[in-house]
Amino acid sequence: MGKEYKYRNYYVYIHYGLSIIFTILLFAVWILVIILSNGLSKELINEFIAGAIVVTLIFSVFIVISLFFARRYSSTRICLAEAEIIYKSGKQITSLQIDEIERIVFSSIRNLWGAMKISTADKNIIVTIGIENIDDLNFRIKNYLDVRLKQEVYCEAEFLNFHKTAVFCARSWERTYELYWKLGIFVFLSLLINCIILAVSKPGIKE
């Protein structure tokens, strides 16, 4: 049984959040149309409705796209064993035998974004730095290839650049999560202290 990797939760949360925002905006548009339609002529009302329909179609597309990517990120899993890499996305499963890997191409923008394309003769998968512990996954794949003396399938310089970006991004998100926890605790304690002060204080005119 190999080690399993998945996308960071924030990828899923962001896209679900976007779908909720677009849905709220969609309802807001129609509420605004209803409010503004009072007392207007029939021609202006028809123009408002036509505009609202166009906005509805556009927002509906954004909602569908957001939900699509949210489900895709949440269902994607990468299982790495010594002999193969199994990439699962929804019902689609792609299996790459490590012995059959012919090429790995690393693409990266320093400390910002990166992806690696792993290819065999007839199949390929693309893995981005959005995967949790991507630095560990990257390093393990390299080790499995090196053991098989298949260093020629990747460029060492590209690997190092990608690995540095992956490590930086992984640590950045760890620090971000830690910061959010501290910020959440600080806000909670501040609200609690304010509530206690308001509860025990007795406002009035001082004599």
**Which stretch of 109-113, 125-129, 184-188, 196-200 has the lowest confidence by average pLDDT?**
196-200
Is residue 205's pLDDT more than 50? no
- The residue type of 151 is Q
Rounded Cα gap, residues 117 and 124, in angstroms: 7
- For position 171, what pLDDT does the model report? 72
Is residue 206's pLDDT more than 50? no
Grade residue 10 by pLDDT with cuts at 50, 70 and 90.
confident
| In contact, 15 and 66? CB cutoff 8 Å | yes
Per the prediction, the chain carries an average pLDDT of 81
- For position 185, what pLDDT does the model report? 66
Instruction: Answer yes or no: pTM beyond 0.85.
Output: no
pLDDT tens-digit profile of 156-193?
888 888 888 887 777 776 666 566 566 556 556 665 66
Q: CA of 38: how far to CAs of 10, 47, 129, in Å?
A: 42, 14, 52
Rounded Cα gap, residues 36 and 30, in angstroms: 10
Q: CA of 3: how far to CAs of 77, 85, 95, 133, in Å?
A: 10, 10, 14, 11
Is residue 114's pLDDT more than 90? no
Grade residue 203 by pLDDT with cuts at 50, 70 and 90.
very low
The count of C-alpha atoms lying within 13 angstroms of the C-alpha of 92, restricted to the half-sphere facing its C-beta, is 7
pLDDT tens-digit profile of 12-55?
888 898 899 999 989 988 888 888 777 777 787 888 888 889 99
- For position 207, what pLDDT does the model report? 46
Is residue 64's pLDDT more than 90? yes
